[in-house]
Chain A
Amino acid sequence: MGKLNEIVKQQQQSLTETEKNVSEDIVQLVGFVVGDEEFAVPILSIQEIIKPIEWTRVPFTPDYVLGVFNLRGNVLPVIDLRIKFGVSANEIDENTRFIVMKIKDEDVAFIIDRLTSALRVKKKNVLPPPDTYSNEDDIIEGVGRMDDGRIITILKVDNLIRRNDIVPGNEG
């Protein structure tokens, strides 16, 4: 992981030679919209981003677990972040995407309404989530202030879903 980070950084360096602030710690994020809010996750936690694939419902799961789908021979769960965040679910349209992320060594897909862009935020511009945020599940890593003044919520990928919430009382 560290090495990859370095390589990515080096690439940036060559791309943005005019700026000499690369020595500063920069977080690379991918931004997306769920409902009417913009979120972001670290680029390295993303496995791939794909167009929606038909899924199969799985009984006895919370409603934000839409089901499972076949990604090149692997069976992956798909989670609707819109339902998880309590936003009314939009229809699936041409902008809808599945973001496949690795959570505890398992690939999980999340439905998002649309991608925005890859973002680069200086670490010092990432602040801990304000107390006013409801962050009971500890799913918010922090709040990033963009250079253009936008505020983006950065999610803690590892906490987005928990096994205990999905299949209660069934450990391991």
Chain B
Amino acid sequence: MDEIQELMEDFLVEAFEMIEEMDQDLVELENSPDDLELLNKIFRVAHTIKGSGSFLNFDKLTRLTHHMEAVLDKARKGEFIITPEIMDVILESVDAMKGILEYIRDNGDDTAPDIDIEPIVVKLDALVNGKSDSDQNSTKSNSSKEDESSSKKVGNINLDEITLENADEIDLDSLEPEELDAVLEHLVSLRNKPADKSENKQKEESKEEPVKNENKEEKKEVAPVKGKNLTSEQKKKEVKKTISSVADQTIRVDVKRLDQLMNLIGELVLAKNRLIKIYNDVEERYEGEKFLEELNQVVSSISIVTTDLQIAVMKTRMLPIGKVFNKFPRLVRDLSRDLGKKVKLVIEGEDTELDKSIIEEIGDPLVHMIRNSIDHGVEKPEERKAKGKPEEGTVWLRAYNEGNMIVIEIKDDGNGMDPEVLKRKAIEKGIITESEALNMSDKEAFMLIFKPGFSTAAKVTSVSGRGVGMDVVKTNIEKLNGIIEVDSALGKGSTFKLKIPLTLAIIQALLVASQEDLFAVPLSNVIETVRIVEEDIYTIEGKSVLKLREEVLPLVNMADIFEIEKVLEPEKYLYVVILGLGATKVGLIVDRFIGQEEIVIKSLGEFLKGISGIAGATIRGDGRVTLIVDVGSLMRLAKETHNKKVVTDSLHEAKKKKEKPEDYTVMLVDDSAMDRKIMRNALEQLGINLVEAKDGVEALQKLKNSDVDAMLIDIEMPRMDGYTLAQEIRKYNKYRKLPLIAVTSRTTKSDRVRGVEVGMNEYITKPYTPEYLQNVVRRNLGL
């Protein structure tokens, strides 16, 4: 049972692969109907499916493919030329075959009640009989005619008719020398093959009932039995040979295993990032030490190997995009016939490779875009003629690499798009307002076709207007972290570019901090980063914009988008990330750039996924979680925020100004109660608030819960000492400028240096006078 199951799976995989190829070949065949090579190839596919199908007891499939084979066989022998009408029937039968195969895949048998093959069989039969009725029942006379083109015929002798059994009957004397040579050669080759042949025979005999029936049927129909059998057997062998030679070099692997491998690599990348971070920390502390050099070598070799490994595993998941492109020639052919247009499809770069998961997602959007190009782009032949263009329109489908992205280009030489018409339509449908339309560039206008509810087709055809609009295309592409670019010249044609990252799991990201929170922005959407001052921001009609070179960009504070509490005081310089998605650009104010990093995307889990603006999370080198922004929805949020918040206001929301001493709080950290008392006594006179903590751990906890303006820190403390405390505090963005004052009896120079290293601002040695302490604190608070 299992064996049968396995066989069936192999059969299905093989069959679908062959069909995919066949589709493309068929369309090509229509253009060059006398391409014998092509015909033979297609014939073999039908033949192989028939053979394997009958072995697995798929009677319906066998019956259908048998009739297809008969038609193709005739065509192959040049008995009729393939016209579009004949092609329609053949394509129809290929569709039925696909349907049956799909049914087999899903249900395990080929009953496929929805698919009625009888009408198709009748049509196929009509082709076979109608065109060459007399040929059908005749025998040798026409078989020799059929074989005229084949190499099997030498002079007046048809080699196929000669077998070992009837060799004696040949009148050798009457043969020409070259005929004799050929006959002898043929006989030798026959004699050399008996082992093969008997094996095949045995196989055939051991096959189950239906196969025998099948064979009989074949014998009934095909005229010169012996010769015919030989050739078809040879063909079978040929096919088998090519298939087995390919099979030797490839292994089918469960995708789940590859996914697992990819996950492991992801973990490895995280560990590598962490290692690099640790190395950097160590490097700072032990500068000049010898072991650093060795550590450096290990770290860099690990990161090189990890990167190579990542690429290698990524490659195992890559498939040529031809897998998707293959179905388009057929689509274009059917569509153009339906619409009465003449369209030629030119495919380039089908070898370009993409991650399997992306390949699976990209098919539908592409179908839609090609439909769109043919339906809306390419004009009717008469119209084209009137414009002085060739009657046949061309659609180019092109794929190529561009950096870390794959670009898929869909270009047509049709009518192009008129930005003004698009704008007018969009206003009519209430998608944009008049004033928005005025400020719109042509490129932005082209992007309107991707808005929900926008359709320029005057009438709904079977092709467009199926309820799935171009907006779905855009969402799907954005889901893959991809972007769409449109360009169009009226009367000349349009170009759509889909830019898609090579893989989904690991991306390059720009890490930015908005207030305290870090975010990772996919680098593919970052156009540039700029540093500005507040004076660079203009406010137009209550909306903040940034003038960057010749462009005016909407400007939004990231903290406003994500409703992050503002704790940082505004600084002189503002940092802006220019995000681009298609033609839209937005300037995003952040508080700090952290840097560029390779990150592994992780899901936020069932409960948190789908939060607007957030695509997922990643784990950084220090083990913390950083959220990854979803640029598509972030842009939408940014637009909403842009409409209601003026950036210059938001920048000053941070903190109330402190003026009087009572507004300030200083924390005293010392494990000795007496030392705390001394400090308290000295500082109470200033009128400021005081908070006490008895060690580093407590201090850190209290710092997070209260608003502290300066800290006095003892060095020697249990649980967490003063150096470590300072180090921990400086890890927070918000405390980067918090004055930290060491108060200690350690007086050596190295102690002081260490203090500066960990981020202490001042160093007071015990004992000190109250006045001195007051002065230091006052200076640090700016009182």
Contact = CB atoms under 8 A, between A and B. Distances in A.
A68 B625 contact: yes
A57 B517 contact: yes
B556 to A, nearest CB: 14
Contacts of A108: 605, 607
Contacts of B518: 56
A161 B607 contact: yes
A60 B563 contact: yes
Contacts of A57: 517, 564
A108 B564 CA distance: 24
Interface string B614-650: 1001010001111100000000000000000000000
Given A56-B626, A57-B517, A73-B270, A166 B607 contact: yes
Nearest to A107: B605
B688 interface: no
A7 to B, nearest CB: 30
Interface in A69-125: 69-70, 73-77, 91-93, 103-108
Interface in A122-166: 161, 163, 166
B610 interface: yes
Nearest to B602: A75
Interface residues of B, number: 29
B606 A104 contact: yes
B517 A56 contact: yes
Interface in B585-616: 602-614
A163 B606 CA distance: 8
B607 A58 contact: no
Contacts of A93: 701
A77 B385 CA distance: 64
Contact of A58 (B267, B604, B619, B705): B604
A70 B607 contact: no
A93 B267 CA distance: 32
A67 B613 CA distance: 15
Contacts of A69: 625
A170 interface: yes
Contacts of B612: 60
Which secondary structure characterizes the binding site on chain B? Answer: loop
Contact of A60 (B611, B623, B624, B626): B611
Contact of B608 (A105, A107, A166): A166
A164 B270 CA distance: 32
A74 B612 CA distance: 21
A61 B625 contact: no
B664 interface: no
A147 B443 CA distance: 76
A54 interface: yes
A75 B605 contact: yes
Interface residues of A, number: 32
B624 A58 contact: no
B603 A75 contact: yes
Contacts of A105: 606
A92 B704 CA distance: 11
Contacts of A75: 602-605, 617, 619, 625
A65 B608 contact: yes
B266 to A, nearest CB: 9
B11 interface: no
Contacts of A167: 607-611
B623 A70 contact: yes
A58 B605 contact: no
Nearest to A67: B625
A61 B608 CA distance: 8
B562 interface: yes
Interface in A19-36: none
A150 B49 CA distance: 75
B701 A91 contact: yes
Contacts of B603: 75
B520 to A, nearest CB: 11
Given A75-B604, A77-B608, A108-B607, A59 B624 contact: no
A106 B619 contact: no
Contacts of A92: 701
Nearest to B698: A93
Interface in B636-678: none
A104 B607 CA distance: 10
Contacts of B617: 56, 68, 75
A56 B606 contact: no
B608 A56 contact: no
A106 B613 contact: no
B345 to A, nearest CB: 37
Contacts of B625: 55-56, 67-70, 75
A112 B115 CA distance: 62
A108 B623 CA distance: 18
Most chain-B Cβ atoms within 10 A of its Cβ — which of A68, A103, A107? A68
B607 A59 contact: no
Given A58-B611, A167-B607, 11 more contacts: A58-B608, A59-B563, A59-B611, A59-B614, A61-B608, A68-B627, A70-B623, A75-B625, A105-B606, A167-B608, A167-B609
* Nearest 5 CB-CB pairings of A with B: A59-B562, A170-B610, A56-B625, A106-B606, A75-B617
Interface of A: 54-61, 65, 67-70, 73-77, 91-93, 103-108, 161, 163, 166-167, 170
8 contacts: A56-B625, A56-B627, A57-B564, A59-B564, A68-B605, A73-B267, A73-B270, A77-B605
